[in-house]
Structure 1
Amino acid sequence: MIEECRIVTQDGLSLGATLFSPKGPPKAGVIINSATAVKQGYYAEFAKFLAKNGYLVVTYDYRGIGKSAVANQRDSRLSMSAWGEYDLATVIDWSTSQYKTLTWHCVGHSVGGQIIGFADNNTQLASVYCVSSQSGYWGHWGLRQRPKILFAWFAMIPLLSNILGQVPGLFLGGESLPAGVARQWAYWGRHKDYIVDQRGRPVRDGFSRLECNMKFLYIDDDIDFAPLQAVKALKAFYCNANTEIQIVNAKAVDTKPIGHFGFFKARYEDSLWRDTLGWLNAAA
């Protein structure tokens, strides 16, 4: 069964969420954190797969995205850190209070693996599975990819944010990104420690708080968005968790590129998704 709902954050924003329920009693719950500028609907087939295999799954849109859009793209409450501090934290609170008997896990795609460190209740998660999650510091990219990411962090995103109040989805390959979210993202990307405060000091308390099992999936043809060095850098943020990196040889899985977004396509149900299911089953 698929049910849409609204969840209100502590600072008063309404998030659009979707609940995917299994036919029988769920064995555990899974929260899916989207990538930057990607609507929750992108993960629907994967959520259905998990529900078919006994999990209660929650997808949601971050503030300013999709069904959680706001009228004012310059709203001061819109930031990337707020995606974790308020949005994810609220979804965790809602999930654990509505379904108290379940253990809850998280699957994070790209930034979805970063924002976990901002949720003050992240220890409620029994395990975390990160797909192509990374530190966005430009120095982690290879020489061929650096000009593009340097242009994004130092020029394109700051300029468009200031002029338009957003970064149009045309430039991101997804949804438009509100100015406050985009500016903070680019600011982080310019700093070697990536997730930092306004004074440039590393933000790590919420990351070091996690002690659960975490898997980081690195897909070896994802050179534009999540190179191995960037994945390793984010893994190091979670210094007290039981972390591991699994390297996926894309050519061994499919003749088509997988890249940064391919994992969540239904054609990987019998390959990549089965591996994820096995890991979640062991954690559950």
Structure 2
Amino acid sequence: MRNNATPITFERISIPVAAGGTIAGTLRMPDGDPHAAVVVHPATAVAERLYTGFSEYLAENGFAVVTYDFRGTGASGSPKANRRLRMRDWMDQDVPATAAWMRGRFPDLPHLAVGHSLGAHAMALNNGLEELRGFVGVASHAGVTKAIEDPRERFRVGLILSFLGPLTGRLLGAVPGRKLGLGEDMPGGAMLEWSGWSKKPNYFFDDPSMDAVRRTAQVKTDALVIGFTDDLWATPGQIDAIFSHLVNASVERRTYSPDDAGLAAIGHMGFFRRGAREKLWPEVLTWLNDKAGASP
């Protein structure tokens, strides 16, 4: 299918997951042959459409790019039908499945990834890294409610994660994320796991079943980790709470302010909106191109 607004093509794709269900996504391609492949792994309760402009930009610059919805969100199945899916299932199953699909589709290209929040958690936990030359983590942090510095935001998030989210998740099997101002509707199982981690001082590192310290220490893939000064959730300390554990990987940290991007605000979502195209996206494009040209 042809996208008339930009010199790229796109097609809808369906990716099977071994544990059950399918992932709905979009593959965008440049006019000519791509020189590298990128998967954009989404954040919790964030619809694939947020990543449209950014993925088009990468495709315009020669990348094959996949965006998608986690199972039980957006176009990848209803939350109720996937009520038992947990956050770890997205990280341990959806992210590797999508990365494997991309490798199968483009076996001869260099492979890279961009992860937003949870999407980068998955890679920090050593998921989806096979044959990957590097990944970018955007606004990816330990979601500890008590660590939110702004008192109003801390109260709002605490109300959702400690009360409203778990209550609706248990009663309905799904969480009405749109009505709660949280994002997309999501499976109850994912909310319950998120709620539990949000109360722990070290997030999922305090969950023995995640084995997170060992898994993060296994990561050897280069990473670029980006944060924003006006992000109320992904503060520098909460980003470090995840990525300081990548003790065997080369991790580059960058922090941008809205002024750096010529914007009034960036926050937790703004990097992927089109206003960041002129100032911030080229920085990531350069890093991805450098890694694509590097030796595996």
Residues 56, 87 of structure 1: alpha-carbon distance in 2 compared, 3 angstrom cutoff:
same
List runs of 5+ in structure 2 lacking aligned partners: 1-8
Distance 1:124 1:189, change over 3 A: farther
Match of 2:144 among 137, 143, 148: 137
Deviation at 1:111, TM superposition (A): 1.3
Structure 1 segments (4+ residues) deviating >6 Å: none
Aligned partner of 1:265 in structure 2 is 273
Aligned residue number for residue 97 of structure 1: 104
Q: How far apart, in 1, do the equivalents of 2:31 and 2:282 lie?
A: 19
CA contact (8 A) 2:58 2:65 kept: yes
Q: CA RMSD in A?
A: 2.0
Q: What corresponds to 1:220 in structure 2? A: 229
For the 8 Å contact 1:104–1:124, the answer to whether it is kept is yes
Distance across 2 between alignment mates of 1:271 and 1:108: 19
TM-score by length of 2: 0.88
Q: Separation in 1 of the partners of 2:39 and 2:234?
A: 22
After the TM superposition, which residues 31-46 of structure 1 pair with which residues of structure 2 at under 5 Å, given as runs?
A: 31-46=39-54
Which AA in structure 2 matches 1:221? Answer: D
| 1:182 maps to 2:191 | yes
Structure 1 pair 279–199 and aligned structure 2 pair: CA distance change class (3 A): closer
2:3 — aligned with what? none
Query: What secondary structure does 1:106 align onto?
Result: strand
In structure 1, the partner of 2:203 is: 194
Identical pairs, percent: 28
Q: CA deviation at 1:243?
A: 0.7
Secondary structure of 1:21's partner?
strand
Between the two proteins, the alignment pairs up a number of residues equal to: 282
Q: Is the 2:41–2:114 contact (alpha carbons within 8 Å) kept by the matching residues of 1?
A: yes
Against the structure 1 CA distance between its residues 22 and 95, is the aligned structure 2 distance closer, same or farther, given a 3 Å change threshold? same
Per-residue CA distance 1:96-148 (angstroms, 9 max, x = gap)? 12211111111111111112245554233211101111011224322624333
Inter-CA distance 179–52: structure 2 relative to 1 (3 Å threshold): same
Q: Report if the CA contact (8 A) 1:153-1:186 is conserved.
A: yes
- Per-residue displacement from partner, 1:218-252 (whole Å, max 9, x unpaired)? 110112x2122111111123222111210102123
Indicate how the Cα distance of structure 1 residues 251 and 161 shifts in structure 2: closer, same or farther if over 3 A, else same.
same
Q: How does 1:110-189 map to 2 (within 5 A)?
A: 110-118=117-125, 120-142=127-149, 144=151, 145-169=153-177, 170-189=179-198
SS of the residue 1:204 aligns to: helix
* Structure 1: distance between partners of 2:180 and 2:120: 22
CA separation in 1, counterparts of 2:64 and 2:89?
Answer: 25
- Decide whether aligned partners of structure 1 residues 229 and 120 sit closer, same or farther in structure 2, where only a CA change above 3 A counts: closer
Normalising by the residue count of structure 1, what TM-score does the alignment of the two structures yield?
Answer: 0.92
CA–CA separation in structure 1 for the residues paired with 2:52 and 2:137: 17
User: Any conservation in 1 of the 2:126–2:218 contact (CA below 8 Å)?
Assistant: no
The answer to whether residue 189 in structure 2 is matched with residue 210 in structure 1 is no
Say which of 290, 293, 296 aligns to 1:282.
290
Contact 2:71-2:82 at 8 Å conserved across structures? no
1:48 is the counterpart of 2:52: no
Instruction: Give the equivalent residue in structure 2 for 1:3.
Output: 11
**Can you give the 5+ residue segments of structure 1 that lack an aligned partner in the other structure?**
none
Deviation of 1:9 (Å): 0.5
